[in-house]
Amino acid sequence: MAGNTIAGSDKQSAGRKALLGRKVGMTQIFAADGEVVPVTVIEAGPCPVTLVRTPDRDGYAAIQVGFLDKPRRLVSRSVRGQVAQLDGRRAKARAGAAAPKAGCEPKRFVREFRGVYDSAEVGQVLTVDVFEGVACVDVTGTTKGRGTAGVMKRHGFKGQRASHGVKKVHRHQGGTSMNTSPARVFKGKRMAGRYGNERSTMRNLKVVGIDKERNLLLVRGAVPGANGTFVTVMQTNKIKKVGVAAPTGKKKAGAK
């Protein structure tokens, strides 16, 4: 499972690390120099590999992993047959031609990853220690739903004036369209509407610590979503360039 950086490139190799988890909450720790570091605790793994897709059979290469067992009373027999070998006569007859099974319980949270783990087998269990030596990760989750919100909360508008002359529209957005031409509201106009409950990714979060015994991953900063929601953690492929001077637009002496 190679995950080293390609020399001279900002992208990772095909063996990026990825894992499913659940947001536990936020806390703070003290660095060696006494600095207070805000961190988010993520319960990452264990995640069994439930399926390996190949270009010959499926047209693309990917692995499917799951997180957190689902109660059997909530799972149909056909769903259980996707991850475990059933005892039925017809199921045993089809076992030879079917893809290998992971032999685990159906999972609550299932995702596919492309371009991760150069070599992975069905039934292999991925734990949080795959992130050893990884400096930064991208965490994807679902933001908190805030219902219907106005433009001041949703988009940060300043609203109307609070002085004389404004009648009960202090938090309104104002005009929304053009004149007679084009006589319509353009698509994408920032207006009031549903706010939150969207997929969001926080990139380049620094890995602060790993607790192998309790399958915990500590990352610096905030992670989208409420406590207890599922998240996807993946080794970042957007490396920040450190020490590169920003262009100033000034030509060097003697340059044409």
- Is 256 part of a structural domain of the chain? no
- Is 34 part of a structural domain of the chain? yes
- Is 173 part of a structural domain of the chain? yes
On whether both 140 and 22 belong to a single domain, the answer is yes
On whether both 64 and 88 belong to a single domain, the answer is yes
pLDDT tens readout for residues 138-192? 999 999 999 999 999 999 999 998 888 888 899 998 888 778 888 888 999 999 9
On whether both 78 and 90 belong to a single domain, the answer is yes
Q: How many domains does the chain have?
A: 3
Q: Which residues of 30-56 are buried (b: 16+ CB within 10 A; e: fewer)?
A: eeeeeeeeebbbbbbbbbbbbbbbeee
On whether both 210 and 87 belong to a single domain, the answer is no
On whether both 89 and 208 belong to a single domain, the answer is no
On whether both 140 and 206 belong to a single domain, the answer is yes
- Is 254 part of a structural domain of the chain? no
Q: How far apart are CA 68 and CA 230, in angstroms?
A: 10
On whether both 132 and 218 belong to a single domain, the answer is yes
On whether both 141 and 207 belong to a single domain, the answer is yes
Q: How, if at all, do strands 36-44 and 18-30 pair?
A: antiparallel
- Residue 203 Cα distances to 6, 27, 77, 120, angstroms: 19, 19, 39, 25
Range 63-69 average pLDDT:
91
- Is 4 part of a structural domain of the chain? yes
On whether both 178 and 157 belong to a single domain, the answer is yes
Q: Which of 34, 35, 39, 3 is nearest to 23 (CA)?
A: 39
Beta carbons of 13 and 73 less than 8 angstroms apart? no
Task: Look up the CATH number of the domain holding residue 83.
Answer: 3.30.160.810
- Is 255 part of a structural domain of the chain? no
pLDDT tens readout for residues 215-249? 999 999 999 999 999 999 999 988 766 666 767 76
pTM of the shown model: 0.77
Q: Higher pLDDT residue, 45 or 42?
A: 42
On whether both 32 and 64 belong to a single domain, the answer is no
pLDDT tens readout for residues 160-174? 988 888 888 999 988
Helix (H) or strand (E) holding 81: helix 77-83
> Which range of residues forms the domain containing residue 8?
1-45+127-145+201-242
Percentage with pLDDT > 70 across the chain: 82
Task: Look up the CATH number of the domain holding residue 9.
Answer: 2.40.30.10
- Is 90 part of a structural domain of the chain? yes
3-state helix, strand, coil in the chain (%, to 5): 10, 35, 55
Q: How far apart are CA 55 and CA 61, in angstroms?
A: 5
- Is 121 part of a structural domain of the chain? no
Start-end of H helices in 30-74: 55-58
What tokens appear for 72 in the block?
């059997």
On whether both 105 and 206 belong to a single domain, the answer is no
pLDDT tens readout for residues 98-131? 667 777 888 899 999 988 877 788 888 999 999 9
What tokens appear for 223 in the block?
């992670």
On whether both 187 and 79 belong to a single domain, the answer is no
